[in-house]
Amino acid sequence: SQTIHQWPATLVQPVGSPLSLECTVEGTSNPNLYWYRQAAGRGLQLLFYSVGIGQISSEVPQNLSASRPQDRQFILSSKKLLLSDSGFYLCAWETTGKGTEAFFGQGTRLTVV
């Protein structure tokens, strides 16, 4: 069966520090991968999505970046965090690229202080 792992579950980082969140998928190949952010009391904002290794599409200009070094690995990074980067970060995957069911990781709750 397919599973998605996302870590860490919670993170408290000072302003200006770097960030690296990792997401891996098991049990499937060539998934479409997504990073979303959900600010407190708000909806999910699509940050990046990837249809293959090294292929990253950015939805919102910001100080975040994403990379996909392997087929089932998706990394969200920042060189210097801002207070506004606080939120609930969710990785998701879906296989067909036709909008069939998307499966989410358990999320990382990031607080920038």
Partner 1 sequence: RKEVEQDPGPFNVPEGATVAFNCTYSNSASQSFFWYRQDCRKEPKLLMSVYSSGNEDGRFTAQLNRASQYISLLIRDSKLSDSATYLCVLFTGGGNKLTFGTGTQLKVEL
53 binds partner 1 (CB under 8 A): no
> In this structure, are residues 33 and 23 in contact, taking their beta carbons and an 8 Å threshold?
yes
7 binds partner 1 (CB under 8 A): no
Q: How far is the CB of 9 from partner 1 (least distance, A)?
A: 11
What is the rounded distance in angstroms from the CA atom of residue 42 to the CA atom of residue 93? 21
> In this structure, are residues 18 and 78 in contact, taking their beta carbons and an 8 Å threshold?
yes
34 binds partner 1 (CB under 8 A): yes
Q: Mask of contacts with partner 1, 58-97, x by CB under 8 A? A: -x----------------------------x-x-x-x--x
HEC per residue, 10-70: EEEECCCCCEEEEEEEECCCCCEEEEEEECCCCCEEEEEEEEECCEEEECCCCCEEEEEEE
How far from the centroid of its chain's Cα atoms is residue 39's Cα?
Answer: 14
Residue 103 per-residue DSSP state: E
10 binds partner 1 (CB under 8 A): no
Closest to partner 1 by CB, 26 vs 59, is 59
Candidates 17-25, 62-70, 76-84, 98-106: pick the segment binding partner 1 (CB under 8 A): 98-106
Q: Which residues bind partner 1 (CB under 8 A)?
A: 32, 34, 36, 42-44, 46, 49, 51, 57, 59, 88, 90, 92, 94, 97-102, 104-107, 109
